[in-house]
């Protein structure tokens, strides 16, 4: 048997690689998508082979991730439950897509992942596989009773790793799990399972990787200019950049100023509430700046239509339906709404805050001659508002009159 395993080199996937080889008598192809893990990839291939993989495939998907997944999602203004920038959610369909392609090319019998049976990633991986290769088998060890009996907690996994000479970063002192990519780093489990635990406090200071705390950020603000073309960030401070370079540049700037830390209790797709802490410095800046550009260039009714679809679009991404017909249909509408979202946004970064400091666009719908309060130069006749208000008030007056008559009886 041959299995393609989504492999990160962390505690869970390292243990699962060894466990699959032992319990399925299988050859394991470890696959890691380079989507911005940086130093976490160092020595990964050798580690996978030492753990028992027949081969380790690492593919640089960073540009594709930024261009074809992150940017389309940000054009849609997606943000889950008003706080989460969907950093893990948007990465899973790309990883799963590539796993499927490798499995088909290698003649593998199945793909496998280390997502738990309580989380969202299991759904994201498997819905993608179902959409792209419906006949391919998926193995999810965490949903097998024999695996859960052997590993009732992270302590047992750490002990198994030590017994099998598998080096892992997790320990009893730092039991939380971490997932990193170009868009964010997520932290969960361990001490974070207590929603009263202060993840911004001194005891958690060493946990963060991408950002300084706002208290430690520079005392002087920093300005930046972000250029957009049809909803995509295309240049920072006058320098044209690819989607990957935009994210890398904004991550550094945002991290320097303590921007993008989010601590939320979110509703998982399976019905469980979970607590997650996230660092999304570049994504927070891009999301904010994109909205500022839209306020200047998008028609009111188009904006309200698109905004009404943000919860639906975000839920589709969060729940793993990236390769679904409904997400693709929404994306087509989003593309149309972004046709004129072009121009320049100036921002001020300061101690965890993103402050707009100006915006301009050749596609601007803002007309100072209409908006001005100076009557002599305004092309807007304020007298027209009288009839406008009268017509909008008509139904309210009729309702009030009817209620008044009913109450007097």
Query: Which residue among the candidates 14, 89, 177, 186 is catalytic per the annotation?
Result: 177
pLDDT tens digits for range 200-227: 999 899 999 999 999 999 999 999 999 9
Contact 347, 354 (CB under 8 A): yes
For the chain, percent of residues with pLDDT exceeding 90: 84
CA angle 312, 35, 168 (to 5 degrees): 110
pTM of the model: 0.92
Query: Which residue among the candidates 8, 121, 275, 314 is catalytic per the annotation?
Result: 121
Query: Which residue among the candidates 92, 124, 180, 306 is catalytic per the annotation?
Result: 92
Is 8 considered catalytic here? no
**What average pLDDT does the segment 238-257 reach?**
98
CA angle 62, 64, 68 (to 5 degrees): 130
Is 179 considered catalytic here? no
Q: How confident is the model at residue 382 (pLDDT cuts 50, 70, 90)?
A: confident
Q: How confident is the model at residue 175 (pLDDT cuts 50, 70, 90)?
A: low
Contact 78, 84 (CB under 8 A): no
Q: DSSP letters along 309-372, please?
A: HHHHHHHHHHHT-TTSHHHHHHHHHHHHHTTT--EEEEEEEETTEEEEEEEE-TT----HHHH-
pLDDT given at position 172:
55
As a 3-state breakdown, the chain gives helix, strand, coil percent values, each rounded to 5, of: 50, 20, 30
Handedness of CA 333, 99, 37, 189 (dihedral sign): positive
pLDDT tens digits for range 362-381: 999 998 888 877 765 567 78
Which residues have a Cβ under 8 Å from the Cβ of 102 and sit 6 or more positions away?
4, 29, 31, 57, 108
Q: Is 86 exposed, middle or buried (0-12, 13-18, 19+ CB in 10 A)?
A: buried
- Strand 222-229 and strand 232-236: the pairing is antiparallel
Is 177 considered catalytic here? yes
Reduce the DSSP state of residue 84 to 3 states and report it.
Answer: strand
- The per-residue b/e assignment along 331-356, b for 16 or more CB within 10 angstroms, e otherwise, is beebeebbebbbbbbbbebbbbebee
Q: Is the pLDDT of residue 128 over 90?
A: yes
- Closest by CA to 13, choosing from 160, 136, 132, 118, is 160
The per-residue pLDDT of the chain, averaged, comes to 94
- The per-residue b/e assignment along 361-378, b for 16 or more CB within 10 angstroms, e otherwise, is beeeeeeeeeeeeeeeee
**What average pLDDT does the segment 303-323 reach?**
98
CA-to-CA distance for 213 and 251, rounded, in angstroms?
14
Distance of CA 22 to the CA centre of its chain: 35
Beta bridge partner(s), residue 343: 228
CA-to-CA distance for 306 and 295, rounded, in angstroms?
13
Q: Is the pLDDT of residue 408 over 80?
A: no
Query: Which residue among the candidates 12, 62, 180, 291 is catalytic per the annotation?
Result: 12
pLDDT tens digits for range 91-120: 999 999 999 999 999 999 999 999 988 889
Reduce the DSSP state of residue 60 to 3 states and report it.
Answer: strand
Distance of CA 331 to the CA centre of its chain: 16
Phi/psi of residue 150, each to 5°? -75, -30
For residue 275, give the H/E element and its range: strand 273-279
Which residues have a Cβ under 8 Å from the Cβ of 407 and sit 6 or more positions away?
none
Q: Calculate Rg over the CA atoms of the chain.
A: 25
């Amino acid at each position: 048997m041959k299995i393609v395993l989504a492999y990160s080199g962390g505690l869970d996937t390292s243990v699962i690689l060894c466990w699959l080889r032992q319990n399925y008598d299988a050859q394991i192809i470890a696959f890691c998508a380079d989507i911005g893990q940086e130093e976490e990839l160092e020595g990964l291939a050798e580690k996978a082979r030492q753990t028992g993989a027949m081969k380790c495939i690492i593919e640089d998907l960073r540009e594709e991730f930024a261009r074809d997944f992150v940017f389309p999602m940000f054009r849609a203004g997606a943000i889950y439950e008003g706080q989460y920038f969907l950093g893990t959610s948007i990465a899973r369909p790309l990883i799963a897509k590539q796993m499927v392609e490798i499995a088909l090319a290698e003649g593998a019998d199945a793909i496998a992942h280390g997502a738990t049976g309580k989380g969202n990633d299991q759904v994201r991986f498997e819905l993608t596989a179902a959409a792209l290769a419906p006949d391919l088998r998926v193995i999810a060890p965490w949903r097998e009773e024999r695996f859960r009996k052997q590993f009732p907690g992270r302590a047992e996994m750490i002990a198994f790793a030590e017994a099998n000479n598998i080096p892992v970063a997790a320990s009893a002192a730092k039991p939380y799990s971490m997932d990193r990519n170009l868009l964010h780093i997520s932290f969960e489990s361990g001490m974070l399972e207590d929603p009263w635990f202060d993840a911004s406090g001194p005891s958690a200071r060493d946990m963060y990787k991408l950002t300084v705390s706002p208290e430690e950020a520079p005392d002087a603000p920093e300005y930046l200019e972000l250029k957009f073309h049809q909803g995509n960030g295309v240049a920072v401070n006058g320098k044209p950049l690819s989607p990957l370079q935009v994210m890398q540049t904004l991550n550094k700037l945002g991290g320097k100023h303590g921007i993008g830390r989010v601590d939320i209790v979110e509703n998982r797709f399976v019905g469980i509430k979970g607590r997650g802490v996230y660092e999304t410095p570049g994504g927070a800046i891009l999301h904010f700046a994109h909205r500022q550009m839209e306020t200047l260039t998008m028609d009111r009714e188009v904006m309200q239509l698109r905004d009404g679809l943000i919860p639906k679009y975000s839920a589709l991404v969060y729940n793993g339906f990236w390769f679904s017909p409904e997400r693709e249909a929404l994306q087509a509408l989003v593309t149309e709404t972004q046709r004129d979202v072009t121009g320049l946004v100036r921002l001020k970064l300061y101690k965890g805050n993103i402050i707009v400091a100006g915006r301009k666009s050749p596609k601007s719908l803002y007309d100072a001659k209409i908006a001005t309060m100076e009557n002599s130069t305004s092309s807007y006749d304020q007298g027209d508002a009288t009839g406008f208000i009268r017509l909008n008030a008509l139904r309210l007056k009729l309702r009030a009159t009817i209620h008044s008559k009913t109450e007097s009886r």
